[in-house]
Amino acid sequence: MEQTAEEWLDQLRVEKGASVNTIAGYRRDITRYLEDLRTHGITRIQDVTPADIDRHVVDLRAGTITGRRLAASSVARAAAAIRGFHLFALREGTSSLDPADNVETPRSGQRLPKALTVDQVSRLLDAAHVDDGPVALRDAALLEFLYATGARVSEALGMDLDDIDLDEELPVVRLFGKGRKERLVPLGHFACESIAAYLVRARPTLVVKGRGTPALFLNTRGRRLTRQSAWEAIQRVAAAAHLENHVSPHTLRHSFATHLLEGGASVRDVQELLGHASVQTTQIYTKLTATTLREVYRSAHPRALARR
């Protein structure tokens, strides 16, 4: 079963273009699944039944396997991995049946993303521009870039110098999303100025400490900035801005989408800018703005609430 799992993951990476993070997540899910099957005496794919899969999913939700209850989204991803694994085994002839065919993937629910207000974003970005050292200039450029483009942090950190051209009046950056799908996103004036300052006054100082890399955002050793370092940078700036909200790279992506919709952009346009494969994913943000509007209406309209 382990060999089939490796072949399936290889197919996802090579043929489907799945990201490193997606592969890592699926690998954890399938490794845990196969170990669970072995503890119940199942060592062949052919012997797995729908009941075995149902039990595994139920145990994940109850925390029996991991020692803690998994989030609904984590259970849903694990179930999706199991379905993909067994479907691959069927198509490759490793198994003559698909025991996961009728197993339902648990719904993860639609939690509204937490977005900052426009004022909070302004405070965050103002705090990023207080210092002018190389690391501070890099952090400011990164934050401005994330909010200006709505990019996933993996997309921003995967950028090379050739993916951006600041000479145009309204530059367009090239981002590579899930499945290496390419999209072009405009870059606003403030982000352009911050990135230009970083490229001139900070990146040359950072790059000489490494072996040379085309990466746009660098760490203090002259290498491509990591996700952990990006998260820590945003936490530092958020603390300096005295923001009580939990701020992460994805918070800026959520804020980007929410503020565009509140400003009058269409869902289809925001879908294109975010790189969502389905408009249904983008529509989550319309629910967020509707919630905001309800709060504004409730507090501002004289006849919104019943009189006591």
Task: Indicate whether 142 and 285 sit together in one domain.
Answer: yes
Is residue 305 one of the residues assigned to a domain?
Answer: no
Return d(Cα 136, Cα 115) in angstroms, integer: 24
pLDDT tens-digit readout, 38-87:
999 999 988 998 888 888 888 888 888 888 878 777 888 888 899 999 99
pLDDT tens-digit readout, 143-178:
999 999 999 898 999 999 988 888 777 788 888 887
Return d(Cα 250, Cα 153) in angstroms, integer: 7
Question: Is there a catalytic annotation at residue 33?
Answer: no
Of 41, 72, 91, which closes a domain?
A: 91
Task: Indicate whether 58 and 146 sit together in one domain.
Answer: no
Please say if the pLDDT value at position 284 is more than 80. Answer: no
Task: Indicate whether 289 and 206 sit together in one domain.
Answer: yes
Contact yes or no for 27/9 (Cβ under 8 A): yes
Is residue 107 one of the residues assigned to a domain?
Answer: no
pLDDT tens-digit readout, 191-234:
999 999 999 999 999 999 988 899 999 999 999 999 889 999 99
pLDDT band at 103 (very low <50, low <70, confident <90, very high): low
* Catalytic residue, candidates 224, 253, 254, 259: 253
Question: Is there a catalytic annotation at residue 246?
Answer: no
Return d(Cα 207, Cα 228) in angstroms, integer: 19
Task: Indicate whether 131 and 278 sit together in one domain.
Answer: yes
* Catalytic residue, candidates 61, 114, 178, 223: 178
Task: Indicate whether 146 and 72 sit together in one domain.
Answer: no
Task: Indicate whether 245 and 166 sit together in one domain.
Answer: yes
> What pLDDT does 57 receive?
85
Is residue 110 one of the residues assigned to a domain?
Answer: no
Residue 69, sorted as left (phi over 0), alpha (psi -120 to 50) or beta, turns out to be beta
Is residue 100 one of the residues assigned to a domain?
Answer: no
* Catalytic residue, candidates 152, 203, 224, 254: 152
Tokens of 40: 């119940």
Question: Is there a catalytic annotation at residue 307?
Answer: no
Is residue 139 one of the residues assigned to a domain?
Answer: yes
Is residue 254 one of the residues assigned to a domain?
Answer: yes
Task: Indicate whether 201 and 61 sit together in one domain.
Answer: no
Task: Indicate whether 86 and 131 sit together in one domain.
Answer: no
Question: Is there a catalytic annotation at residue 221?
Answer: no
Average pLDDT score, the chain:
85
Is residue 99 one of the residues assigned to a domain?
Answer: no
Task: Indicate whether 275 and 143 sit together in one domain.
Answer: yes
Task: Indicate whether 181 and 42 sit together in one domain.
Answer: no
Question: Is there a catalytic annotation at residue 287?
Answer: no
Residue 25: domain span: 2-91
Task: Indicate whether 87 and 168 sit together in one domain.
Answer: no
Number of domains in the chain: 2
CATH number of residue 77's parent domain: 1.10.150
Q: What angle (nearest 5°) sits at the alpha carbon of residue 146, between those of residues 172 and 229?
A: 130
CATH number of residue 217's parent domain: 1.10.443.10
Is residue 58 one of the residues assigned to a domain?
Answer: yes
Question: Is there a catalytic annotation at residue 236?
Answer: no
